[in-house]
């Protein structure tokens, strides 16, 4: 069979497009393969980030929870200690005695308000002999009418019954303490005894 130049060109021409076609198909396959490989890597990366975030949250949450539980235990124990000390009921006339004098000069509610402001109206605290307590044996309150002051003499347990352990001068007009300590100014010297609190039990 005779093969002419024309036939050779046709054969060559017919093969050339096939090669190009194959090359195009190979080129098209590479992105598909790379996409297929990239997808699992992305999924694994996402799962690692998600797991890391979860672990961080779990560790932080556990730390906060343990701190909360610790503070709750501390609060509960301190409140139980307070409640146990405050459950004891002190009876007026048996455990302590309160006497008002010169009631025509100043009313009881004014004295009570001043004592509340200074924390001297808490019977449990006054009777408490621990380091945190008032540990008081007696309180005397004098009224200086000219200066509108209350001078509160505080006597601690175990100290001299004639000399105050400390004194607090309270300004009734401005509702504030103006002086406190053992040596207070003579200008604040008391005039009339208006209130006495005494511890009866030893």
Can you tell me which residue has the tokens 């300590």? 181
SS3 14: helix
Residue 182, pLDDT above cutoff 70: no
pLDDT in tens, 74-130: 444 444 444 444 557 889 999 999 999 998 999 999 999 999 988 898 989 999 988
Q: How far apart are CA 124 and CA 128, in angstroms?
A: 6
If you count DSSP H runs as helices and E runs as strands, how many of each does the chain have, helices first?
A: 3, 6
- Residue 174 · residue 120 · CB < 8 Å: no
pLDDT in tens, 20-37: 555 555 555 555 556 666
Contacts of 170 (CB under 8 A, 6+ apart): 114, 117, 118, 149, 150, 151, 152, 176, 177, 178
Give the pLDDT score at 131.
82
Within a 13 Å sphere around the CA of 92, how many CA atoms are in the beta-carbon half? 8
């Amino acid at each position: 069979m005779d093969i002419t130049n024309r036939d050779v060109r046709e054969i060559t021409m017919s093969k050339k497009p096939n090669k190009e076609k194959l090359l195009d198909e190979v080129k098209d396959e590479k992105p598909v393969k790379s996409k297929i490989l990239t997808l699992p890597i992305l999924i694994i990366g996402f799962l690692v980030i998600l797991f890391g975030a979860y672990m961080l949250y779990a560790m932080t949450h556990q730390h906060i929870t343990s701190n909360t539980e610790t503070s709750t235990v501390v609060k509960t124990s301190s409140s139980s200690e307070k409640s146990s000390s405050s459950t004891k009921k002190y009876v007026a006339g048996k455990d302590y005695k309160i006497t008002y004098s010169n009631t025509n000069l100043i009313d009881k509610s004014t004295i009570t308000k001043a004592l509340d402001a200074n924390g001297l109206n808490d019977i449990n605290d006054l009777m408490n002999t621990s380091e945190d307590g008032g540990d008081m044996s007696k309180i005397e309150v004098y009224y200086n009418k000219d200066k509108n002051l209350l001078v509160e003499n505080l006597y601690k347990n175990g100290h001299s019954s004639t000399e105050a352990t400390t004194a607090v001068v309270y300004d009734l007009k401005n509702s504030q303490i103006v002086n406190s300590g053992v040596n207070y100014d003579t200008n604040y010297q008391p005039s009339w005894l208006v209130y006495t609190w005494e511890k009866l039990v030893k």
